[in-house]
A and B are shown apart, each in its own frame.
Chain A
Amino acid sequence: AQSVTQPDIHITVSEGASLELRCNYSYGATPYLFWYVQSPGQGLQLLLKYFSGDTLVQGIKGFEAEFKRSQSSFNLRKPSVHWSDAAEYFCAVVREGNAGNMLTFGGGTRLMVKP
């Protein structure tokens, strides 16, 4: 069965520091990969997506993610974190050819930003 693992439940970084959030997935075929962000009391907003092609993808709010097939990973990065980045981040996958476009989510990583 497909699964997505986000090993870090909580991460705290200082404002201005770099950030990397980890995501690992288990699939046999090529997945479609996503990162979503959820601010408190809000729905999920798409940060970026990977379907094919260049394995380094750029998203909104200065985020990027790199797809590494050999490691089954899709880690999210940002070079300099802002206080407004404090939120919960979810990695998700859609299995290619899945007629229902069903997403499988990781458990989420809550990011806290220190002043």
Chain B
Amino acid sequence: DAGITQSPRHKVTETGTPVTLRCHQTENHRYMYWYRQDPGHGLRLIHYSYGVKDTDKGEVSDGYSVSRSKTEDFLLTLESATSSQTSVYFCAISEPLGGNIQYFGAGTRLSVL
């Protein structure tokens, strides 16, 4: 998985609780991304980062926030989890000079009850 570690790999939580997912990379890539995967929708971009402390919204950012305090870590936070946020979350990385290729982590399966 191209030096990308997602944690936790599985999480079950209750509606209304905060949740933080972590993505850690060892490739020193500039760009990092958070996607969610739902049946029939492929992967949809939640947020992305183009450098330390530089982030922007994707197409499904409502209810999510992100932070990137150092190159290797990109955190995704659900401030108050809802059942509609039950999904599989993937982190990806890319390097602008690397031909726009994104490399993906193994995913985090989140269930919000």
Of A9, A32, A46, A100, the residue contacting B31 (CB under 8 A) is A100
The reply to whether A100 and B99 form a contact with Cβ atoms under 8 Å apart is no
Q: Which residue of A lies closest to B42 (CB)?
A: A105
| Contact-residue bracket for chain A | 20 to 34
Number of A-B contacts (CB under 8 A): 60
Q: Which residue of B lies closest to A32 (CB)?
A: B100
Q: Which residue of A lies closest to B94 (CB)?
A: A101
The reply to whether A94 and B100 form a contact with Cβ atoms under 8 Å apart is yes
Q: Does any Cβ of B come within 8 Å of A42's Cβ?
A: yes
Asked if A100 meets B106 with Cβ closer than 8 Å, knowing A106-B42, A107-B42, the reply is no
Asked if A107 meets B41 with Cβ closer than 8 Å, knowing A49-B99, A99-B50, A100-B31, the reply is yes
Q: Which residues of A contact B4 (CB under 8 A)?
A: 43
Contact with A along B72-113 (1 / 0, CB 8 A): 000000000000000000101010100111111111000000
Chain A nearest CB: distance from B19 CB in Å?
A: 20
The reply to whether A101 and B100 form a contact with Cβ atoms under 8 Å apart is yes
Q: Which residues of A contact B (CB under 8 A)?
A: 4, 6, 9, 32, 34, 36, 41-46, 49, 51, 90, 92, 94, 99-103, 105-108
Q: Can you name 20 A-B pairs with beta carbons within 8 Å?
A: A4-B42, A6-B42, A42-B107, A43-B4, A43-B104, A43-B105, A45-B104, A49-B99, A49-B101, A99-B50, A101-B102, A102-B45, A102-B48, A103-B33, A103-B43, A103-B92, A105-B42, A105-B43, A106-B42, A107-B41
